[in-house]
């Protein structure tokens, strides 16, 4: 059922403020431009690294760069990466492939080896959607190593849940898979015999598989340019907080040389607790950027922008007593995730009634208590001393859990906690 924004129904309001509510903020006009209050430096730096001027590729990068992008949960990483993709994905810039790991894979069981197969398959799927005709003996040979005919007809699933047995025939390569609408997540990303097999093969000879893929990338670049779809290829990979930290460590630190061997510019997003460990490793990425929280103290424009995020989703007059939404924004600390969480909690507490200040205060107290209960003595000692040294395990834990919020140049205690730590 289509949603008409801003919603007035109390039950629908609860839905559209849930943290896992899947909304296309650009298509549904929910996006609020925060450049004036957060700054554009991180985005401008990324585009400079990609040799872009006015969103046009001036010249190919001298090497294939790997950019690490991070930020708090709910800081807007996915939205800003999608925005970056939208701005560079055109004829005069890049043929950009945007991958959301949480949508494409079973994140809890995601392994480093899965990334190589995923970027191959998403590239082919994108080519098909763009109408670019391309066949590759190299990839078809790789497919035959990874997937036998029996596995094709018994394990590979289409997006409608059916098998491809009747349509596949005897010579099925990766291109044929995606022309038939194969569901990568169901076929390759879950814990099954096929996914475990492909992981073993990739793990046994990663450099060989990357070398083969690089040959294919060179061929595809020419096809993309001839089709007028872009001057080079780039991948933007949005990470997920649900991925195991050990997976990030292996992919971005221990085996980062394999990641760097892929002959393509890649922007890779990771949660903030992984970022500190990755950037301090000897094999760091080409560049690394963090999406900061929004500074709202004394900034009426920033407060208004965050109010707009809520007002685009739910009708202000139908839900809030005067001044209550501003209170919720102030308690968010400039964190979009926390703001949605506070408003959602207010809606739940108020049920079918208007959200008054006592209701908002109760919501803030409940959410603050949840964060406080996850802290141990060492966490509290760090908060009392204010020693927020980057990379300190307990500090990164609190940044990930939103007990601490990172801004441009500073780290502050979450305003939801102040009532508890000042007791």
Distance between CA 117 and CA 107 in Å, rounded?
15
Structure tokens at 10: 């109390």
pLDDT of residue 341: 96
pLDDT of residue 10: 93
pLDDT of residue 110: 83
Please answer whether residues 182 and 221 qualify as being in contact, where contact means their C-beta atoms are separated by less than 8 angstroms.
no
Q: b vs e for 71-107, b when ≥16 Cβ sit within 10 Å of the residue's Cβ?
A: bbbbbbbbbbbbbbbeebbbeebbbbbbbbbbebbbb
Show contacts of 196-201: CB within 8 Å, 24+ apart: 197/146, 197/151, 198/113, 198/117, 198/146, 198/147, 199/111, 199/113, 199/114, 201/145, 201/146
| Axis-axis angle for helices 193-204, 137-146 (nearest 10) | 120
pLDDT of residue 246: 80
pLDDT of residue 170: 40
- Cα→Cα distances 376→269, 367, 370, 411, 421, Å: 29, 17, 13, 19, 12
| Element housing 272 (H / E) | helix 272-279
pLDDT of residue 162: 59
Question: DSSP of 103-157, one letter per residue?
Answer: HHS-GGG--HHHHHHHHHHHHHHHHHHHT-----HHHHHHHHHH--HHHHHHT-B
The residues spanned by each domain of the chain are 35-291, 300-421
Ramachandran assignment for 39, one of left (phi > 0), alpha (psi -120 to 50 degrees), beta (any other): left
User: Residue 268's closest CA among 283, 250, 289, 254?
Assistant: 289
Please answer whether residues 283 and 256 qualify as being in contact, where contact means their C-beta atoms are separated by less than 8 angstroms.
yes
- Could you tell me the pTM of the whole model? 0.87
Q: Give the contacts of 144 (CB within 8 A, at least 6 positions apart).
A: 173
Please answer whether residues 1 and 10 qualify as being in contact, where contact means their C-beta atoms are separated by less than 8 angstroms.
no
**Alpha helix locations (H) across 131-232?**
137-146, 149-154, 165-168, 174-179, 184, 193-204, 206-226
pLDDT of residue 23: 85
pLDDT of residue 201: 86
Please answer whether residues 397 and 379 qualify as being in contact, where contact means their C-beta atoms are separated by less than 8 angstroms.
yes
pLDDT of residue 7: 96
Distance between CA 42 and CA 416 in Å, rounded?
28
Distance between CA 328 and CA 423 in Å, rounded?
22
- Total number of residues shown for the chain: 423
Handedness of CA 163, 167, 172, 176 (dihedral sign): negative
Residues of the chain with pLDDT under 70: 1, 147-184, 186-190, 240-241, 280-284, 422-423
């Amino acid at each position: 059922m289509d949603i008409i924004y801003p919603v007035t129904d109390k039950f629908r309001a609860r839905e559209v403020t849930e943290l896992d509510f899947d909304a296309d903020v650009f298509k549904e006009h929910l996006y609020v431009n925060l450049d004036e209050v957060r700054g554009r430096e991180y985005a401008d730096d990324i585009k400079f690294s990609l040799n872009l001027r006015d969103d046009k590729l001036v010249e190919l990068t001298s090497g294939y760069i790997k950019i690490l992008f991070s930020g708090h949960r709910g800081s807007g990483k996915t939205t800003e990466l999608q925005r970056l993709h939208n701005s560079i994905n055109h004829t005069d810039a890049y043929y950009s492939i945007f991958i959301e790991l949480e949508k494409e894979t079973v994140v809890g069981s995601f392994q480093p080896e899965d990334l190589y197969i995923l970027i191959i398959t998403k590239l082919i799927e994108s080519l098909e959607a763009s109408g670019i005709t391309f066949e590759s003996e190299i990839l078809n040979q790789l497919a035959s190593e990874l997937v036998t005919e029996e596995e094709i007809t018994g394990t590979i699933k289409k997006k409608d849940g059916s098998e491809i047995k009747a349509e596949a025939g005897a010579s099925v390569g990766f291109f044929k898979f995606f022309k038939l609408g194969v569901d990568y997540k169901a076929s390759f990303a879950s814990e099954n015999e096929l996914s475990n097999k492909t992981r073993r093969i990739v793990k046994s000879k990663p450099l060989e598989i990357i070398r083969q893929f690089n040959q294919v990338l060179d061929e595809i670049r020419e096809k993309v340019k001839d089709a007028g779809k872009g001057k080079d290829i780039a991948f933007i990979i949005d990470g997920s907080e649900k991925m195991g930290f050990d997976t990030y460590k292996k992919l971005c630190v221990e085996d980062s040389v394999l990641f760097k061997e892929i002959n393509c510019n890649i922007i890779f997003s990771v949660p903030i607790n992984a970022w500190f460990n990755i950037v301090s490793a000897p094999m760091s990425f080409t560049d690394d950027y963090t999406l900061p929280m929004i500074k709202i103290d004394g900034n009426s424009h920033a407060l208004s922008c965050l109010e707009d995020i809520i007002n685009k989703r739910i009708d202000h007059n139908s839900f809030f007593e005067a001044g209550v939404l501003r209170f919720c924004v102030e308690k968010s600390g400039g964190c979009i995730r926390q703001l949605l969480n506070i408003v959602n909690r207010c809606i739940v507490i108020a049920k079918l009634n208007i959200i008054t200040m006592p209701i908002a205060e109760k919501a803030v107290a409940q959410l603050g208590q949840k964060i406080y209960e996850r802290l141990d003595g060492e966490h509290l000692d760090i908060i009392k001393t204010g020693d927020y040294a980057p990379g300190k395990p307990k500090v990164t834990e609190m940044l990930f859990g939103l007990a601490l919020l990172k801004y441009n140049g500073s780290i502050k205690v979450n305003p939801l906690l102040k009532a508890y730590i000042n007791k």
